[in-house]
Each structure stands twice: as C-alpha cells, then as structure tokens.
Chain A
Amino acid sequence: MLVIVLENAPPRLRGRLAIWLLEIRAGVYVGDYSAKVREYLWQQVQVGIEDGNAVMVWRTNNEAGFDFTTLGKNRRVPVELDGAKLVSFLPVEETGDSSAV
C-alpha cells in the first residue's frame, strides 16, 4: 500500500502521478507498488514539487506497520521518539506566513 498526498503542487506533477496512482481526492494518490517503483515515484515528486509540499506513506514491517517521508515546508513535521515516528504540529508563525497550511 502506498499513499502520496500533495499540497500546492503544479498540475504537471499531479498528472504525472496519476499515471501510476489513483487520485481518490484532490492531491491524494493511492496505489500498491514495490520499493523500487516507490522510490521512482518519490523521485518524480522531488523533481516536480516546486513550492508545494508532499508526504508519502507506505506499508512496511516495523512496529507501526508503516513509514513515511515528507518534502517541502509544512506545519506538520516528522519527529523521531526512540524509534517511533510521530508528527509535531508547529504553531502559526508570527510573520504572517499565508502559505502555512
């Protein structure tokens, strides 16, 4: 199982991902591929993301049963807690950054 979520991504990248994955909601892509294809897809995201941000999550054999990786700026950032991966939600920046999601 593989899920990619894009925010603020250029249409070109969205179209590119839709070649392999099913876009079940705006910016939410689902599929089931091997590690090799997953890396290839993530590389496509890295190349095409521009100012947007992305997260990819996939099933794997760790304690949580899944792992994820992120790209670009987002108020939610992954944190590592003694080997368990959680997410921290940053407070709104004072500078009035309107791009914060």
Chain B
Amino acid sequence: MKERLSVLYIEKGQLDVLDGAFVVVDVNGVRTHIPVGGVACLMLEPGTRVSHAAVALAARVGTLLVWIGEAGVRLYASGQPGGARSDRLLYQAQLALDPDLRLKVVRKMYHLRFGEEPPARRSVDQLRGIEGARVREMYKLIARKYGVTWKTRNYDTEEWDKADLPNRCLSAATSCLYGVTEAAVLAAGYAPAVGFIHTGKPLSFVYDIADLFKFETVVPVAFCTAAGRVTNAEQQVRLACRDCFRETKLLGRIIPTIEEVLAAGEIKPPEPPEDAVLPAIPNPETIGDAGHRA
C-alpha cells in the first residue's frame, strides 16, 4: 500500500487492456497508460466505460475500482471484494460481536482520535455522543482557523448544489479519504461492512478507520481550499488531498493503525479448528498485500 499513488480520478474514456497494459482511450484514440499496479484506488467518474479485461487486471494487481458520481458522490464500488482472508474476517467479527471486546476497540479509536483516554464506564452509545459533540466543535475550530463561515455539516447528496462551498469541499475531500481507506481495509484482508462505531452501512468499518485520520488530513485541507479563491473546488481539493496524504505518509499508516485498533481487543486471531481441512494447494507467495486475492 505505502508505495502506491493514493487515488487517480478518471473522468472520461474507455478503460481497457491493450498489449497487456492498463489504458484509458479517449474519443480521439489518445491512449493514456495508467500504472495500475502502483495505484491504491481508481475513482471512475461519470463518462467512463470499463472493459472486462480492465476489471480483471485491476483485481489481479489489487487496485480498488470505485465508481463515483459527479463531485465524488459515491455510486458503487468493486475491484476487490472484502473478506479475502477468513482468519482476519473471523477475528474482526469476533471483536465486533462481543460487547466487551467491541467497547475496547471503540475506546481505542477514541484514544487515537483525541489523544486521551475516554472517560471510564461509558457505553459505546455514550462514547458516540461525546464524540459527536467533539467533532462538531472541531469543525467549528478548524473553520475559524482558516476563516471559513461554517454552519453545519450537510450530507444531502440529492441537493448537492445547494450545499455551501465548505461542505462541498469537505465531501470531495472525504470521498478521497474513504477511497484510500477502503483500499487499505481490503488490502489488509478485513471486511469494510463490519464496523464498530458505525454500523449498518456497506462501508461502516471504512468510516470508523477514516475518522481516525479525518481531522488531521482532509478537514484542514477542505477548509483551507474553501477559504481561498476557488474556481474548480473539487479538483483543487483532490490536488491538496494528494499532497496531504503524501506529507502525512497516510498510505503507510492506515494498515498498521487498523491492526493497532483491533489489537486493543486483546484477543488473538483465531486458529483454524483442528478438524478443518487446510487448503490442498497452498496459496502462492505474492508481492501484493495480505488481503489481495492474486
């Protein structure tokens, strides 16, 4: 993960495999090679078409394809289905199912986010309440720091254009972060849907992990962009996110952080049961991450 480019946005063109290389071909026949093995996640905007061979190649090198709507509103995702490692999936599920273990993990997340131990004897729900208040305070604080007028976070994807500039910048920036976080969760072999603080969404765990980095990375970037003179806000935010991900060495940090958070449960990943049939054909050694299928 850490040696990959974070995200690439493809706006229009046909994604295909020509001579074995991953290319985007535009209407004029101009080919742009994408070093797909060196990218963590490819964001496909409206106006792109993808061939079967291109998806197969992206999956083989462990690159996440994310179909997004205009301005980063997410539609659909694929490339690497989650849970390629049953041992890690069971480990994650065990932590999420046991109330005590889950609370330990949530407390660790709180600790990582705010740099202090959460108050003792609080339930996950209470912690979530404290967290929500602190988050609203942090938005206000960062907005004031960059001189941005901030009312409230607006998630309404239906009425995208009605959202104010800071909200639009924030949405574009968080979609970048969610993309790379999802790629990292999959690369590490965990399931994006099995969350601890967030639950019930296909990307619950991705939101949990992304929140650990949100306020040191994309929120300042979004407000800083919103405070300046912007012509193409979404693009400027992406550019700034790329710089920020590099400076904070984000891609190298996500997977170790996931391991650290889950380790707070103080249980070991489960051993295979004694009567289990181990694979007859051992998995080949690959240069990809643990959760990649090929």
Contacts and interface: CB of A to CB of B under 8 A. Distances in A.
Nearest to A86: B32
B242 interface: yes
Interface string B32-67: 111100000000000000000000000000000000
Interface string A52-90: 000000000011100000000000000101111011111
Nearest to A88: B32
Contact of B9 (A79, A81, A87): A81
Contact of A89 (B33, B239, B246): B33
A88 B268 CA distance: 49
A100 B28 CA distance: 17
Contacts of A91: 28-31
* Tier of interface size on chain B: 20 to 34
Binding site secondary structure of chain B = mixed
Contact of B31 (A63, A82, A88): A88
A82 B239 contact: yes
Contacts of B163: none
A84 B5 contact: yes
Interface in B200-246: 235, 238-239, 242-243, 245-246
Interface string B1-38: 00001111100000000000001000011111111000
A82 B235 contact: yes
Given A63-B6, A83-B238, A88 B30 contact: yes
Nearest to A80: B239
Contacts of A64: 5
Contacts of B5: 63-64, 84
A90 B28 CA distance: 9
B32 A87 contact: yes
A91 B23 CA distance: 13
A31 B33 CA distance: 26
Nearest to A81: B8
Contacts of B8: 81-82, 84
Contacts of B239: 82-83
B246 A62 contact: yes
A46 B62 CA distance: 41
A79 B32 contact: yes
A90 B23 CA distance: 12
A63 B242 contact: yes
A63 B28 contact: no
A79 B7 CA distance: 16
Identify the interface centre among B6, B31, B235: most chain A CB within 10 Å of its CB.
B31
Interface of A: 62-64, 79, 81-84, 86-91
Given A64-B5, A89-B23, 7 more contacts: A63-B5, A63-B246, A86-B32, A87-B33, A88-B30, A89-B32, A91-B28
27 contacts: A63-B5, A63-B6, A63-B242, A64-B5, A79-B32, A82-B7, A82-B9, A82-B235, A82-B239, A82-B242, A83-B238, A83-B239, A83-B243, A84-B5, A84-B8, A84-B242, A86-B32, A86-B33, A86-B35, A87-B32, A88-B30, A89-B30, A89-B32, A89-B33, A91-B28, A91-B29, A91-B30
